[in-house]
Amino acid sequence: MFLGTFEHTLDAKGRLAIPAKLRNSLGEKAVLTRSPDRCLVLYPMDEWNRLAQQLSQLSQVDRNARDLQYFIFGGASECEIDAQGRIIVPAMLRNYASIDGDVVSVGMNTHIVIWSQAAWVERETRVNGDIDNIAAQLVGLF
């Protein structure tokens, strides 16, 4: 169960410390890959296996399916959490998500999402103006 929003930093060596509260639900290994909205996603192994299996089952004939597989599998990196609780973010993924320095990690229950600080702030301001929309959707859940 991943919960909460955390601001921290990626150091000059491309290392990213996973906040302790998110780390607890993560094993020793995890998979980091791209998300369509220009951020990164970190899956624990069991969740990743489920996702990978679903992706593999898509029709190989469908071009969109293949493109999606390239996107997810091709952008993925298996990460080990080191003794300090950090993972290494490959340069290609740092580049994709425009991450350099300040980072925001968000627990999303089943997985972790990683944004560059700048992109996150931009997203926040967009959503905050629309909080009534969120409230309306919440109502629908009950």
Partner DNA sequence: GGCAAAGTGGGGAAAAGTGGGGAGTTTTGT
Partner DNA sequence: ACAAAACTCCCCACTTTTCCCCACTTTGCC
Contact set with DNA (CB under 7 A): 6, 8-9, 11-14, 17-21, 23, 80, 82-86, 88, 90-91
Q: What are phi and psi of 50, to 5 degrees?
A: -65, -45
| Binding flag, residue 21, a copy of itself (CB under 8 A) | yes
Contacting residues for 96 by C-beta, under 8 A, at least 6 apart: 34, 38, 40, 75
Nearer to DNA, 61 or 91 (CB): 91
Instruction: Candidates 12-20, 80-88, 131-139: pick the segment binding a copy of itself (CB under 8 A).
Output: 131-139
Q: Report which residue type is found at 114.
A: I
Which of a copy of itself, DNA, none binds 135 (CB below 5-8 Å, type-dependent)? a copy of itself
Minimum CB distance to a copy of itself, residue 83 (Å): 20
Contacting residues for 26 by C-beta, under 8 A, at least 6 apart: 18, 42, 44, 81, 112
For CA atoms 7, 13, 17, 18, give the dihedral sign. Answer: positive
- Per CB under 8 A, residues contacting a copy of itself are 1-5, 21, 31, 33, 36-37, 51-52, 54-56, 64-65, 67-78, 90, 92, 106-110, 127, 130-135, 137-138, 141
